[in-house]
Amino acid sequence: MAIDSRQLQKITGATRLFAIVGDPIAQVRSPEMFNVTFHSAGIDAIMVPLHVRAKDLSAVMNAAMRLGNLDGIVVTIPHKTAAVTFADRLLPTARQVGAINALARQLDGTWTGELFDGQGFLAGIRRAGCNLVGRSAIVVGCGGAGSAIAFALASAGMRSLALYDIERSRVDSLAARVTACYSSLAIRVGGVSEDCDLVVNATPLGMAQHDPLPIALDRIPRTAWVADLVMKPEITPLLIAARARGHPIMLGAETLKHQIEPISRFFGLRLS
């Protein structure tokens, strides 16, 4: 989606600001995707990345949200759950999952939070050709993004869902919350099942050069889809291994790509 930098709109005193906060931040692709969208729609706005560590999140968010020309914040790893506390109100998906990845300033100065990861993932995996109804999936990583994916898959009519995370408390919590909303869904915690049609990596493993694979693929049927939420590198070690075994794959950028329009509208922007 790259465009010639000479075509970019000039930043003026009237330019509206948007930010993305995370740690790390170099891997995010939201600024490039949103800024291209802003430019294409003729919107005088810019999104900038902010590297914010967990210990500084409260100070940064409280200060940033007082800026008069900041209209929205995208939230990425590892802050999606903690950022809930900064919203004056939560929309339904955010309330259900207990995490947000976007905050929008309202006309009265208050902030509304919502979570779009699940919506973006479903749109991407369906567009890629993966049928979810009556199928089984494994979600590795039960943080904010993994929780969003788990709830989205449950809503899509899947038959069973296996959850894994190095923190067992997060697995148990997510399993209980999903079961409370989708009692007919079979949920299993821990381990790798050979009865699997989709594997989703919702951990940061794969960002760093020497990261181990988040899951061993040797017991996964080769017909199973393998999706990774990591966006840089574009083809992660997990996806390289999956493609070598003949699995159909989905890149992390697909989940983000299908969130750009709904988040922009959530921010109150008119794209057409």
- Give me the active site residues, please: 80
CB of 214 closer than 8 Å to CB of 203: yes
Q: Can you read off the two tokens belonging to residue 137?
A: 């999936």
Strand pairing category for 160-164 and 136-140? parallel
C-alpha closest to that of 18 among 81, 70, 88, 77: 70
* Token pair 């509304």 in the structure block, residue: 112
CB of 20 closer than 8 Å to CB of 31: yes
The C-alpha angle with vertex 87 and arms to 83 and 92, in degrees rounded to 5, equals 95
Phi, psi of 168 (to 5 degrees): -60, -30
Alpha carbon distance 172, 165 (integer Å): 10
51-75 per-residue burial string, b: 16 or more CB within 10 A, e: under 16: ebeeeebeebbeebbeeeebbbbbb
Alpha carbon distance 216, 36 (integer Å): 37
Alpha carbon distance 206, 230 (integer Å): 7
Tell me if the bond preceding 237 is cis, omega within 30° of 0.
Answer: no
C-alpha closest to that of 230 among 198, 206, 213: 206
Q: Can you read off the two tokens belonging to residue 166?
A: 């190095």
